[in-house]
Structure formats: C-alpha cells, structure tokens
Structure 1
C-alpha cells in the first residue's frame, strides 16, 4: 500500500475571535502535519452569512502567524486548489448536490424547527433530537400544498439503517448507526446555504486533504461525512479528534462567551509562553514553559495527547 503524503488542514469559522480551545486544535493540527514532513492548508469556513465576517477571517490569520503557525496554501496565501473561502466555493457544493439529487438520494423537508423538536423521535443522551423522517415519503401533492403555504424546504440526504465503523487516529475504534444516531440529515438549508457536512467533505476531497485534526465535539459528524464521501465516490481523509478544553465547571470554552480569547491572551502572553501552555495541556511538556512550535514538531507524538477533555484552571 502506498503511503499518502500527509496534507493537513485547519479550517476555522470566522464568527468571532479565536479562543484557547481553537488554538489547541490548531497547534495539534500543525504539529501532526509538520512532524511527518507534511503540508498544511488554511481554509476559512464562512458558510453562514449571518455569523461570519471578513474582519474575523483576517484576524484569525494574524493570530495564527503571531503564534508561529504557518501554512503552505490557503487563505491569504493562495494555491492551486482554491478558493479557500467556503463562501466562494458554492458552485462545487451545488454540483455535489445535483449528483446526489440525480440518484434520488435527497428530498425536501418542510418541517419547521419547532416541528422537528416536537416530533416523537427518540432523543440521544447528549440532548440532540433525531429526525424521524416525517418528510421522507411526501407525495408530490403534499409537497405542492406545503409550498403553497409559503414553506421553503431544506434538503436532507437519505441514510441507511447501517452500522458505520471507523478508526479515529486518536480516539480509536468508533461505531455509529446513521439512522438511529442522527437520521436523515440536512445538506442544504431552507435559505439555500449548503450545510457543513456536504461542504467540508467536498472541500477536503477537492483540496487533497489526507488528515483532519479537529475537536472531539465533531466526532459524531464523521460517519455522516464518510457516508457522503462514499456516495460521491471521494477518498476520505484520516480523522484525529482531540479533547476539548473546558472551564473548571466542565463548561466548554466558546467564542460566544469570550472565554480566554486571543485579544486577552495576546495581551498577557508572548507567543512562546502561550505555545508552552498549550503544549503542556496537550501532554507534550511536563510544565508550561516558553517554547516555539517548530521546537515541538520533532518530538510530537499522538500517544502523549490526552483522550479525555481537559479542564483549564485560571490562566
């Protein structure tokens, strides 16, 4: 078997200032690729026009450079597989959607959010509701009636009642059932915006990404993306999901609550000090001490990185 050259990526959403948790994932993605002599792509996932801002994209690129994390192609740098803003790639998502539609694999869903939440489908232990397939088999007459009421449909992809097993490079063997764990999922919203699952699969394949390092909160997205890879005849990357950084009370760090964001961090730390803190949280250093990312790369190992979420005390 021919070993593929590693090509990693960091793909943040410009919906606010990056925080410590975002940087944790970025550093591990950078180290995983660089330690193997691989390349890195910076893609900006600005699909949501209501939340994403160009100024945040410029800011996150500046924050990454400040920390010493470079990239070989992508945002502000260019490359042969651009554009690297998802908002400029909707043509490729539309083509993927048309391919699925031509095979009868997608259908319009007219359910409102309230209707979805009120449906009698079982709920997962994490609180996420499961789509019960209410619109899966609507007749043409029923669809016309709903559209006459002014409802604009989202589009869902049909999923099989099938166990999906995959091996995460860090978390190990995982098994999910698409029908029981998520149900038919949305690939295009009712406002015409293509959903994350479709966009990220199409982009990673088009950009030649072979390794995806991202937060554990996206682990359950992996079977959906692997399913889309299969339907579209694309080669999937290898996935590595990393633990989340949490507040001492277990609350996940978030942009919305401005937990340890880069504005505050850059005022309090030098790049080497902040890299040392992140490396310590990742199990790469025994204690937080100043270090450059390039100094960590030769000694990086996934075996050192924790597999459970990491509580961050006062910084």
Structure 2
C-alpha cells in the first residue's frame, strides 16, 4: 500500500508556525516512505473562507519547499458530492431534523478548538421524524441507533503518534457521553460538518495516513464511527504535538505575529522555520 497523506488547512486566515509544522511533518513522512503528499483546502465555511487566504497558503507552502503530488482539492467545489452520504445515513434511519439555535449549530459544524468543550446535545429534537423537517433545520446523527447498528462489531483504529500510539477501540458508552447527537449538515446553507467532510475526503483521496495535531485526536472516534457506518476504509492516524506560545497556549490564526508571511518578510529562510518548530 502506497503511503498517502495530506495537509488540509482552512483558508480563513494566515498560515502560522503550527500549520507549517503540521504540513512539514506530513510532507516529510510521505517523502521518507516514497509516498504521496496532497494539499486539500477545507473551505466548507463559505462565509469565512477567502480566495486571498487560499492563495497565501499556497505561496507559503511553496516557499517552505513543500510540493504536492496531485491537484489541490477544494471542498467548496464539490459540496453536492457529500449529499449521497447524508442520504445513506437517512436511509439507515440515523438522521433527524433539529431546529435548535442557529448559532449553536454553526459552532458544532466548525473544526474543534483546544480548550473549547463540546457540549453534548440534550436531545431536544430527537423524536422528530425526517418527514417533519422544515427549511433551515439541521440534520443530527441519531447516535443511539448508529451504535446499535454496530453492536457486537469491534470498531478500531490505529494511531502512530507518540502520545496515543497503539490500537484504539470505539467505546459506545464513552461515545454517548462525549459525542452525542452531532450536527452533520444544515439545509439551505451548503454547510456540512467539518469532521464528516474531512473523513469523506480522506477516503476520496485514498489517504492512508492522516497526519494532524493532537488537538483533533478526540474527534477521531467520531470520524471512525461515521466511516464504519458507511462501510468505508478507515485510515491510520498520526496526531503530532502542537506548537505553542510562551504561555503554553496552542497557536491560532489570530496569532499573526507568528504568521509565516511575517517571518518571510523579516528575512527568515525555510530552514529557519524548520528550526523554530524543532525540525532543524
């Protein structure tokens, strides 16, 4: 099996040191294995994603000396492709409409952030049938039913990152307590949940190893659950350490002072960046 991995940023802000570290790790792992490195723009958030950030990310990665082996995949260009998977979940009886706060649902669709807890949905709309769906309603995963489908099945995934290395088993009780009935999509806004789109595109791009920050590790069991329900292949995961500021806080896109473009403007070299993130 050919090693295939990817770097999948959201074009909603500048590339910073943490992004550079993740991209370099994925790129170097692919090259060391004689495999392929791909670039994917996870731009399903149509309001916040901007063409200028897309272009800036490409410029920064190119300057860092990273090269991808296939055309860039942009999620916004094939939003309709995700619908068949939503319909598959619906046909299995795993979806229900939800009319709860639009702001809460938008937050649930976004990529997780370290230090921001995921509130498990209390089930307000759980008993609504799909026939009751109204314009603007979101679609939630009926987790109890989904887990019942997998009852007796040993759902696992492999992790090669140092902090979580080994074989992990899906724990149904933990899933109910920590995941709950997550939002998968909202009708009329062409928004699909970050974690679902990402998992589906990993399959579409035949990614064998998902390389990303350890802040996303807790969402892995959800992605593995969704892929298993759809009878799709589950990749191997590698969650690496995060690049943090002086206070130990994870870098975010608001940390413009650590933007790669700023370091470039100040005369830094790609090797300087590697040294800054501990790869020199």
TM range (shorter): 0.7 to 0.9
Of residues 155, 158, 165 in structure 1, which corresponds to 2:142? 158
- TM-score normalised over the length of structure 1: 0.75
Partner of 2:247: 249
Match for residue 53 of structure 2? Answer: 56
Q: TM-score scaled by structure 2? A: 0.84
Deviation at 1:91, TM superposition (A): 2.1
Pairs aligned (count):
256
Higher RCO by CA contacts (8 Å cutoff, separation 6 or greater): 2
Q: Distance between the aligned counterparts of 1:179 and 1:158, measured in 2? A: 10
Name the structure 1 match of 2:64: 67
1:1-315 aligned within 5 A: 4-75=1-72, 84-112=73-101, 127-138=117-128, 143=132, 147=134, 152-160=136-144, 166-170=157-161, 171-173=164-166, 174=168, 177-190=174-187, 191-268=189-266, 269-278=268-277, 281=278, 284=279, 288=280
Q: Unaligned regions of 5+ residues in structure 1, if any?
A: 76-83, 117-124, 289-315
CA positional deviation for 1:274:
1.6
Change (3 A) 1:215 1:166: same
Gaps of 5+ in 2: 106-114
Runs of 4 or more, structure 1, over 3 Å off, are: 113-116, 160-167, 173-176
Distance in 1, matches of 2:118 and 2:58, equals 33
For 1:22 and 1:69, the matched residues in 2 are separated by: 13
RMSD: 2.3
For 1:248 and 1:35, the matched residues in 2 are separated by 31
1:219 Cα deviation after fit: 0.8
Residue 243 (structure 1) shift: 1.2
CA distance in 1, matches of 2:102, 2:191: 16
The answer on whether the counterparts of 1:92 and 1:202 sit within 8 Å (CA) in structure 2 is no
